Each structure stands twice: as C-alpha cells, then as structure tokens.
Amino acid sequence: MSDSSRPKAVVLLNNIVPYHDARWRAAAALFSHCVVVEMTNRDEFRALEVAQKSPGNYERVTLFPNAGQAEISTGKLTRKVQALLEQEKPTVVFVNGYSFFYNWIALEWGLRHQVPVVVCSESNEHDEPRSAWKEWVKRFFVSRCAAGLAGGTPQAAYLEKLGLPRTRLFTGYDAVDLEHFERGSARARNDESLQRERSGLPKRYFFSCARFGKKKNIPGLIKAYAAYLHKISESSTTNPQSLVCDLVIAGEGEERGVLEKMIADLHLSERVHLIGPKGYEELPGLYALAEAFIHASTTEQWGLVVNEAMACGLPVLVSERCGCAADLVQAGVNGWVFNPHDQGELATLMLNIASDAALRNAMGAKSREIIANWGPARFAEGVSCAMEAGLSAPNRKFGLIDRMVFRLMALR
C-alpha cells in the first residue's frame, strides 16, 4: 500500500513511557504518518521517562514540556489539542481510555469532523467500584467511538457492555517489548555473579515491582511473606533453610514509610528488601534471577509487570483482581491466581514455588510460551484491525445531546 493510500494517525497519551514507545514503533508502519502526542514528558517515576529523541518511525509531539499534570489547565489543554488536530488533520485518532479530558476533546473533534476515534482501554468491569452516573458517562463516550482496542478478554467484554459492537472490538493493547526483557534476562543469567553483585541481590528471592500506593497491596504481600516464613518454621523438613527465599520489592511511593515500619515490626529487615524505583534497563536483570514474580494488587486494570516477568521466564503469582490474570495465568501451568485478601493462600503458593525447582523451571518456560503472543506485533495487529473497523464504521451525527454533554465535561 502506498503512503498516499494509507491513513494518517494521531495518538493521544499522558506521557510516553517505554511500553508506549515499543507499541507505536511497531504500529507506525501502518500509517502514512503517525503522530504520538503526549501531554507532558514528565512521569511520576523519572526512571520510566523516555528520552526526548527522534523515535524514527513516528513523530513525537510534547504539548507541555516539563510540566506536571496538575499544571495543565483545561483551557490550555483544549486549545492545544484542538489546534494540533486541526493542523495534522488525521484520518483516524487513537485515545487511551475515557478518563482524561484530552480524550474528550479528541472525541468531540472526531465527531464534528467525522473522523473515527478508536478507544484503547485496559479497564475491566470489576477493577474499581462502579456508580450509575459514571457508567453513564463512560457509555456515552465509548458508544460514540468507532472501534476499540482492549487489553484482553475482560477488557473487551467491558467495552462491549459500554456500547461498542463486538465486531468492532479487538485485543492486544497491553503489550510490552518482549525482546528487551528476553535479551536482558538472558544477559543477567549468563553472568549471574556480576548481576547479583551489581544489584545487591540475595541468593534466592521472590520479586515484586509496583508503585507504593494502596491498590498495589504491598502491606498484604509483606504479611503473606511473613506467613510463608512461619509455614517453613512449622514444616517437618530436615532442611528448612533450603525453602527460604527473600522478598525483593522495586518501587517507590507514598506508602514507603508504612512499609518500612511494617518490615521492622515483623522483624523482617534481613529478608525484605525495598530497593527503590528501577529503570527500564535494570529491570530484566532483577526479574531474571528471581524464583518467581508476585503481583498482589487489590485492584488492577491489567498489570504489565506480569507481562515483563513472563517474558523473563518466571513463574507468576497474580492477584485475581488483576486484569491480566484471565488471559496470562494458567493455574498450575505457569503460576497461580490468588485472592489478594487471603495472605494464607499466597503464603502457601510461595512455599509451593520455593520448594520445587523442577516446577519453577517448567512454569517459567510456559510463561515464555504464553507471553510470546503479547508483544508489539500483537499490538500492531490489533491497531490494524481496529483502524479498519473504525474507518468502515457508519458516521455518527453530532447532535444536541452531544453538544450539551461535551460542554458539561469541559466545566467539570
């Protein structure tokens, strides 16, 4: 297909982080021109920011360089997003969900100009408490999009419930750069002693990586870890020390003080290691040498760290409240799903993993096999299908109710 016959895309994001970069590098070849627009180039964790450089096959535009999200006013946002869309005149627009106001600006522009808007979403029906009026607002937004690209099975089902026809819904949004994690983990395993020395890693450990916020349930994970150690102390094994793995947690956030106090109170300072936020280049080595990866969130739209751990060949223990669990975790095959409020259940699973090297190896291999279909190529395929469906969808008139609702959203 020649450049002149291919569509032109504008993509709207909060800020570009490594997985966005990998995804749109893979998908950009579908378009005559692909403009990835970030509101700011700042992230809560500086380690996740992608350097301001030419990405090659897509154009990167930062509307508010070096600005925090709270510094961007509704008026400035509206003017800049509208001006950019008018300037670029895309034939298709991709938005990341429906929560952020800039997505509403883009949808209104698309409806007024009869340009299809594709909603990319990793939300599922049960990831947050729902209220009737919020669901109505979401339904209003989603039903006016031309197509959808969902994280996985539960996410696609939720978009369908919110008003998108199943024939215009596709999956593959929640992809990561598999090659980056496969290559980095292989390097770490090939020089294990250097990796352990450089990162200060214990001989055996479970690994978790998350922002230290309430929904990530790090206190619950630490309590489960304490219960796991207690189970070892009560076991009849002749060598209980052989069952002990430390717990290494990468991340940062407002709960750090709470976690440090809990670790001290539970006398776990020698076993639980809070190693701070880690950059994209460091993460594969931290995954690589772990016995298993644990994600204990009480609510999670998806959980891309699970993709990353699986790409590094780890067994995974994943909360049933994580949106990725339905598609990525096969119980007893590459890990287990658990109730994040049941610390005893998680402790038992940790003991099962720690005590069986053959099981760990088999599960890690299966993780690699499962995740092989969740890379940037899968994302690009989903983008292609959603784009074609959106471009062939019937145009929707921009009526009086639309005008009223969009005006109200601008005032919120």
Q: Looking at domain 3-175+375-411, which of 3.40.50.2000, 3.40.50.2300, 3.40.980.10, 3.40.50.300 is its CATH number?
A: 3.40.50.2000
Write out the two tokens for 390. Answer: 């959106």
**pTM across the whole model:** 0.94
* Positive or negative torsion for Cα 54, 60, 63, 65: negative
Name the E strands within 80-233: 92-96, 117-121, 147-150, 169-171, 205-209
Give the Cα-Cα-Cα angle 409, 410, 412 (nearest 5 degrees).
65
346: three-class secondary structure by DSSP: helix
Ranges of each domain in the chain: 3-175+375-411, 178-371
Rounded CA-CA distance 210/282 in Å is 15
User: Which listed CATH number (3.40.50.620, 3.30.420.10, 3.40.50.2000, 3.60.140.10) goes with 178-371?
Assistant: 3.40.50.2000
From first to last of its 412 residues, what are the pLDDT tens digits of the chain? 456 679 999 999 999 999 999 999 999 999 999 999 999 998 877 767 787 665 668 999 999 998 888 888 889 999 999 999 999 999 999 999 999 999 999 999 999 999 999 999 999 988 888 889 999 999 999 999 999 999 999 999 999 999 999 999 999 999 999 999 999 999 999 999 999 999 999 999 999 999 999 999 999 999 999 999 999 999 878 888 999 999 999 999 999 999 999 999 999 999 999 999 999 999 999 999 999 999 999 999 999 999 999 999 999 999 999 999 999 999 999 999 999 999 999 999 999 999 999 999 999 999 999 999 999 999 999 999 999 999 999 988 888 888 898 888 876 6
How many Å separate Cα 214 from the centre of its chain?
17
pLDDT for position 196: 93
Instruction: Express the helix, strand and coil content of the chain in percent, nearest 5 each.
Output: 50, 15, 35
Residue type present at position 321: R
Picking from 93, 94, 92, 149, the residue whose alpha carbon sits closest to that of residue 123 is: 149
Whole-number pLDDT of residue 44: 75
Classified as helix, coil or strand, 336 is strand
400 contacts 349 by C-beta, under 8 angstroms: no
Is the distance from CB of 207 to CB of 290 less than 8 angstroms? yes
With 0-12 CB in 10 A as exposed, 13-18 as middle and 19+ as buried, what is 323?
A: buried
According to the model, what pLDDT value does residue 237 have?
81
**Are the C-beta atoms of residues 199 and 240 closer than 8 Å to each other?**
no
Residue with tokens 């500086």: 46
Tokens of 278: 């880690």
For 398, counting Cβ atoms within 10 Å of its Cβ (0-12 exposed, 13-18 middle, 19+ buried), the class is middle
Instruction: Confirm if 275 and 249 have CB atoms less than 8 A apart.
Output: yes
User: CB–CB of 267/222 below 8 Å?
Assistant: no
pLDDT the model gives residue 81: 97
With a CB cutoff of 8 Å and minimum separation 6, the contacts of 48 are: 17, 18, 279, 280
pLDDT of residue 324: 97
Contact 188, 285 (CB under 8 A): yes
Q: What is the CA radius of gyration of the chain?
A: 22
CATH topology of 3-175+375-411 equal to that of 178-371?
yes
Closest C-alpha to 311, from 149, 211, 186: 186
Strands of the sheet with 205-209, listed across from one edge: 272-274, 246-250, 205-209, 292-295, 316-319, 335-338
Helix axes 178-190, 192-199, angle to 10 degrees: 100
- Say what the pLDDT of residue 357 is: 96
> How many angstroms separate the CA atoms of 377 and 179, rounded?
11
Give pLDDT, residue 161: 96
Cβ-contact 268, 222 below 8 angstroms: yes
pLDDT at residue number 70: 81
Task: Give the model's pLDDT for residue 135.
Answer: 94
Q: How far is CA 242 from the centre of its chain?
A: 34
